[in-house]
Structure 1
Amino acid sequence: MATRTHAAAATAIGRRNAGFRPAVSAGARSRTGTSCTPVPGHDAGFTLVELMIVLTIVCILGALAYPSYAGYTVRVRRVEGQVALIDAMQRQERYRLQHQTYVEFSATEPGADGFAWWSGSSASASAYELDAHACPGREIGDCVEIRARPGTARVDMRFRDPDCGALTLDSTGHQGAEHTEARCWP
């Protein structure tokens, strides 16, 4: 019977002290040498000031990184247009070897042998719209100029290339740009 009374008393004490947590003894320390006892009345977490400081730092880093990223994406898409011009010119040369003339094409007039009028894998994913016409003052059998226009209604309208605008390549090897030639071709 004494055992039951002792067990009942321990259970009663346990219920009464359910929220009690014993303090860490003075000898119990963490590896850093600080006490493991939480300060009463202070919750663990971040203050609003700390969160605002972190948010400010993230915004500053984003403001510094975005222009660089935007410039990088324009340069990558410009290379897409240059590659499309070179590829179209190679196809024009193959066509000329077989037919003794170049072929004109555009988005509205596809031309012979299915010359693609876009620069990427599909029209909607492309940055440039291509067209080919006779060089100014010359016949189509002698010279062809291929132009890549950025961000038209038939391709990705969101893409803009303010530095170069439309890129051109003709069958004599002349590479050009609408705005400035210095930074547009390698």
Structure 2
Amino acid sequence: MSFGPSRVRGFTLIELMVVAVILTVLAAIAIPQYSAYVKRSYRIAARGQLLAVAQYLERMRSQNFSYGSSVNAYSSYLSGINADSTVAGKYTISISDLSSSTFTVSAAPIEGGPSATDECGTMSIDHRGSKGNSSGSYTTCWAR
């Protein structure tokens, strides 16, 4: 039998605290970056839907020589667009300023949704292809 000092194996409290601090710092950097990329992906999906609706309206004009005069004519189409999983719960796509020769399509972030605090706010495109947003820079909102 040996009653001398025994060597205990394991991690010391200091080593565990160092690991905890490193993980905290990594999380503090990674989580906001990840959130920014997720918001950006929602914005890109909304832009895609805006362009799809604008293309649909252009197709209607090429067939009927008019965009139409009533937004109600497009209500079932817009319901399908808004139910699409890429924008559902994040943005509401709508048509405004509709006449025989003009339209504006907008994507507004849903209050309380994941895109509510997006830096671009409401994005829009009109019959001329002019793109705009209620806040943020054009480069941030449309060019990336």
Query: What TM-score results when the alignment is normalised by the length of structure 2?
Result: 0.80
Structure in which a larger fraction of residues adopt helix: 2
Letter in 2 for 1:159: S
Distance 1:93 1:113 in 2: 17
Query: Partner of 1:185: helix, strand, or coil?
Result: helix
Give the % identical residues.
26
RMSD: 2.7
Query: Partner of 2:104: helix, strand, or coil?
Result: strand
Assess if the C-alpha contact under 8 Å between 1:130 and 1:146 holds in 2: yes
Distance 2:86 2:20 in 1: 40
Query: Which has more radius of gyration?
Result: 1
* Equivalent residue number for residue 55 of structure 1: 20
Instruction: Map 1:118-133 onto structure 2 (within 5 A).
Output: 118=82, 120-121=84-85, 124=88, 126-133=89-96
Letter in 1 for 2:101: D
1:141 maps to which of 74, 91, 100: 100
Assess if the C-alpha contact under 8 Å between 2:94 and 2:105 holds in 1: yes
Instruction: Map 1:29-178 onto structure 2 (within 5 A).
Output: 40-103=5-68, 105=71, 111=74, 114-115=77-78, 116-118=80-82, 120-121=84-85, 124=88, 126-134=89-97, 140-152=99-111, 157-178=113-134
Query: Partner of 2:142: helix, strand, or coil?
Result: coil
Letter in 2 for 1:118: N
Distance 1:66 1:123 in 2: 22
> Matched residue pairs, number?
139
Distance 1:66 1:59 in 2: 11
Assess if the C-alpha contact under 8 Å between 1:81 and 1:119 holds in 2: no
Which aligned segments of 4 or more residues in structure 1 are displaced greater than 6 angstroms?
Answer: none
Structure with bigger RCO (C-alpha 8 Å, 6+ apart): 2
Structure 2: gaps spanning 5 or more residues: none
